[in-house]
Amino acid sequence: MATVKELEERIRELEAAMGAQGVQMPAPVEGPLPDYVPFGSPQHAALLGLVEVGDDDDASDYATYTSPSSGKAYRLQDEYEPVRLFPAMDPEKAARVILRQKVGELEGGSPPAPEGAPTMWRPRDVP
C-alpha cells in the first residue's frame, strides 16, 4: 500500500501533466466549506426542523420545549412529524420526545472525534 507521501507525489505529477495539457486545477478552498452548517447555529436549528419561539410569539397551538441549559423555547416546524414517526403514541407525548431529542442535539455541541481517529479529510477541489 502506498504511503501518504507517495500518493501526494503522484498527485503532484498528475497535476503537472494535466497542467502541461492546459487543464487548470482549481485553487484550494480557504476557510470553512461553503455547505458547512455549524453546530448550534440557526441554520442547524432549521436543518433539524426547529423554530425558536420568542416572547412575542403565540405558541399556544404548538407543543413547545424550553431548554434547561439555554432557557430558549422551541417548537417543531412540522407539527405532524410526531404523528408520522410515532403513530401508535399519544401525539403530545411524541412531540415532547422529539423536541427534547432535537433540542439536545442542537445544544449538545460538536461531537468529539474518537480516540485514534485520523485527521479530517478536507477536499481541495470544491466547486
How many domains, the chain?
1
Closest by Cα among 94, 55, 89 to 76: 94
Q: State the average pLDDT over residues 34-44.
A: 89
Quick one: cell of 51? Answer: 423554530
- Asked if residues 77 and 51 have their Cβ atoms less than 8 Å apart, the reply is yes
Sign of CA dihedral 82, 106, 40, 34: negative
**Which amino acid makes up residue 124?**
R
pTM of the model: 0.67
The percentage of residues in the chain with a pLDDT greater than 70, rounded to a whole number, is 93
Within-domain flag for 83: yes
Report the alpha-carbon distance of residue 87 to residue 81 in Å, rounded: 10
Burial class (CB in 10 A: 0-12, 13-18, 19+), 87: exposed
pLDDT at residue 48, as a whole number: 96
- With cut-offs at 50, 70 and 90, classify the pLDDT of residue 65: very high
Within-domain flag for 116: no
CA 103 vs CA 22, 41, 87, 94: distances in Å? 51, 12, 22, 14
Contacts of 76 (CB under 8 A, 6+ apart): 49, 50, 51, 62, 63, 82, 95, 98, 99, 102
Within-domain flag for 74: yes
Within-domain flag for 88: yes
Within-domain flag for 71: yes
pLDDT at residue 104, as a whole number: 95
Within-domain flag for 96: yes
Q: State the average pLDDT over residues 38-61.
A: 91
Sign of CA dihedral 14, 16, 20, 26: positive
- With cut-offs at 50, 70 and 90, classify the pLDDT of residue 34: confident
- With cut-offs at 50, 70 and 90, classify the pLDDT of residue 39: very high
Q: State the average pLDDT over residues 71-80.
A: 93
Within-domain flag for 95: yes
Give the residue numbers spanning the domain of 59: 42-107
Within-domain flag for 27: no
pLDDT at residue 111, as a whole number: 87
